Amino acid sequence: MNSWVVTLLLFVLALPANVSAESPEQKGYQAVKELGRLNGIALNCRYFDQAKRIKQMLITSLPKRRELGQLFEDETDASFKSFIQSGAACPSPAAFGAEVDKAGAALARIF
C-alpha cells in the first residue's frame, strides 16, 4: 500500500465521529420541516397556543426567504393530512410543548 493511501486512511479515521454529511443549508431545511410537521399536529390537535409559538420562532429566527416559508407551509399541510389519515392520538400538551421547545432550539442554533 502506498504511504499516501495509509496517510489518507489515518486522516479519515481521525475525523470526529459527529461530522455530518449534511450542509448547514440542509440542516436548516430539516429544522423548518420539523417545525412544519409539528405545526400540522398542533393545528389538528387544536394546540393553537403552540401553533402561535411555532410561527413566532420562525419569524424570530429565519431569514426572510420565500422558499423557507413555502417549505414550512407545505410541510404543515402534509403533516396535517397525514395526522388525520393515521388516526393517531394527540400527544399530551406537555410532551408536545417539549417537542416544540426542542425543535425551536435546533432552529435557533442553525439560523
Residue 22 has pLDDT above 70, yes or no: no
pLDDT, average across residues 19-40: 85
Q: Which three cell numbers stand for residue 75?
A: 410541510
Q: Residue 21's pLDDT is what? A: 57
The label of the residue with cell 410541510 reads 75
Cα(94)–Cα(37) distance, rounded to whole angstroms? 17
Q: Residue 25's pLDDT is what? A: 80
Residue 5 has pLDDT above 50, yes or no: no
Residues near 110 by Cβ (< 8 Å), separated by ≥ 6? 24, 27, 28, 31
What count of other Cβ atoms lies within 10 Å of the Cβ of residue 57?
Answer: 21
Average pLDDT of every residue of the chain: 87
Query: Higher model confidence: residue 111 or residue 49?
Result: 49
User: Helix 93-110 to helix 24-44 angle, to the nearest 10 degrees?
Assistant: 160
Which candidate, 98, 103, 19, places its Cα nearest to that of 62?
103
Least confident segment among 35-39, 64-68, 76-80, 82-86 = 64-68
Confidence grade of residue 31 (pLDDT, cut at 50, 70, 90):
very high
Q: Tell me the pTM.
A: 0.78
